[in-house]
Structure 1
Amino acid sequence: MPQTRHLPVNARRILVTVAPSVLASVVVLSVFLSVRDRLPEPMATHIGQGGQADGFSGQGAFLAVALGVLIGGAALFGGLAQWIRTNPGAQRVIAVTGGAVAVLTGWLIVAVLLANTDADDAASVSLSGLQAALAFGAAAVYAAAGWALCGHAQESETTSGPSADAARLSLGDSELASWSRAIGSRVLPVTGALVLAAGLVVGITTGWLPALPLLITGVPLALLTGARVTADRRGITVTPTFVSWPRLNVPLERIQEVGHRSVNPIRDFGGWGYRARPGASGIVLRSGDALSARLTTGSEFVVTVDDAATAAALLNTLADRDRRTPDGG
C-alpha cells in the first residue's frame, strides 16, 4: 500500500486501525454466503478445550454477532485513535492494536465457518490449534507492518515558542508548578442515562443483541462526563473523573502557545464531549471559558475549564523553559 505514504499521518493511522475490520467484514460475509447451504443448523460457534465444539447458535445470529464485533471494533479503536491524535505515541499503539485485533478476529471467524462446512452434526465440529497459531501470526505480521506504516507525526511543525505578548507566570528556572481543575457537564449525564435506559428497554423487550449499540454508547456517556484538567511540565492532561483511562495528553513540546477564550459547544463545535472539526479539537463539556492551545501543527486544542487564564500563563512559561533546555528540564 505505498500510496498511503502520501496521506497525512493521522489519516494513515485511522486507515491502519479501521481497514482490517472493513476488509474482514467483507471476507466473513462472502465466505458465509458461499457456504451457507452447507452449514449445519444450528452451527458450532465456540470451540472449547481439545478443539471440540461446546457452543452453538443459529446461522443468522452467528453472522450478526460476527459482523457486529468487527464493525464495533472498528468504531471503538477508530474513535480512540481519533480521540488521542494529539498524543502521537499512544495513537500509534491504539491504531496498530485495533488493526491486529481485527485480523485475529476475522481469521478465527472464517476458520469457524470453514470448520462447520459440510458437517452433518455441529457437535462433531472441531478446530485445530494450528488455526489459532496462524491467526495470532497474521495479527503479529499486520502489527509490524502497521507500525511502520503509521510513521512518526512530524509533518509541517514549527518549533518556535509562545509570542512575546503571550501571558506568562513568574517562575524561576528551578521552580516546579502544576495547575489542576475539575470540569463537568450537565447535558451529557442526562443524555447518557436516557440512552442507557433505552438500551435496557430494547434489551428486555426485543433482545440484547439489538440493544448492544445503545448500551455501549450509554455507559461512557453516563460515566465519562466529568474530567480533571492538569497543566504542568507534561503539558495538558485530561483524565476522566471516575476512571483513569482513556487519558488524553498534549505534550509540552507540541504546544506552540496557549491562551483562553469563550466557547459555545453548539456554535463552535456542534455539540458536547470530545469534538473535532477542521483545524480544531478538544474536550467541550459546557459553555464558557476554555483553555485554547495552538499546537505546533497549526491546529487548536481546547478544553472548557474555569480559571483557564492561569493555566495558559503557566503553560506558556513552561513551554519557554522547555525550548531553552534540551531535556525540557
Structure 2
Amino acid sequence: MNDLSVRDAAFRGRFLLAAGAWTVLVTAVLVAVPLWFRDRLPDPLAAHWGPSGEPDGTMPFTVFVCVALLWVVLAGACLGAAAGGRAVNRRAARRWITAGLGWGAAFILGLQILTIGANMDRRRWEDAASLGWQAAIVIAVAFLAGWLGWLAGRPGPDERPAAAEATPPALVLSPGERPVWVSSVSSPVAVGLALAALAAAVSLAACALFGLPAELWIGAGVFAVVGLAGLWLSSVRVKVSPEGLTVSYGPLRWPSRSVPLAKLDRAWTERRAPADVGGWGYRGLPGQSTIMIRGGECLVVRYTSGGELGISVDDAAQGAALLNALVASGVAS
C-alpha cells in the first residue's frame, strides 16, 4: 500500500468515526430530551397541527420517543454510503453525505423541540399551543445545517472515479456513411414506486370526491407530482448520430434534449455510483452533471465549453467511440 492509499484509508477512518459519533450524539439527544421533560408533558401529546394552527392529531409519548428511529434510519443510510465503496474519498459524494447528516439532524431535532415546546406543562393535548410560522423556521434552519454540512465535507481527498475505458475503441467511418447508435436504460424500481404514487393520488382523489375531507386533494396533488416526476426520471434513451447527441427522458421519450456535434469535444466511459454524484435522477454539480438511472458504466461527454455530462446507459463504450469518430470527421471536414 503506497503513502497515498494509507492517507486515504486514514482519512476514511476519521470520517466514519466523526460521522458515527455525530449519529450517536444526535440519537442520544433525541431520546434524552423527551425523557427529561416526561413529567411536564401530556400523554398522548399533540403531534399534528391543522391549517388553522390548532392541534388536531396525537401521538403516544412512547411513540414520540421512538421518532429517534427516523434519524437512525437516515443517518444509517448516510453511513452506509460512506462505508461502502470509496465515496468518502470523493469530494462530491462526501459533501452529499455530510449535508444529509446536517439537514436530517436539524430537521428532526427542530420538529421535536417544536412539539415539546407546544405541549409543555399542558394537562391535555387539546390545550397545546398553536403552531404556524415556527415550522418555516425549522425548515430554514435545517437547510442552513445542510449547507454547513456541505461545506464541512469539502476538506480532504478528491479521488476521481476510475475510467472504465479512458480511450474507447477507434471507429473508421466510410465516406457517406451515416451511422446511428441508440441505447437506453430504465429502473423497474423507480417505475414501480412512481406507479404506486399515482395509484395513491387516484385513491385520495376518489375519497375526496365521495365526501371525505377536502384536504385529501392536497395529498392527491403531491402524490401525482411525485408519481409523474418518478416516471419521467425512471428511464433515459441516448442517441448518437451525425446530427449530434440526443437525450430523451421517460417512457414517452419526452422531453428531449439535442446537442450538435459542433458543441461536443470528446466522449469516454466511466464507472459511477449514485454516491459519487449525490443520488439518483438528474444530478448537477458545477461543470459536471449526471443522469443517474443505475450505477455502473456511464457515457461521459465533454462539451467544447469545458462542461461534462454523464449518462448511465448500456453499451456506453460503443456510443463513445461513435461520437468521437463523428466529432473527428466533422473537424476534419
Greater Rg over alpha carbons, structure: 2
TM-score by length of 1: 0.47
**What TM-score results when the alignment is normalised by the length of structure 2?**
0.46
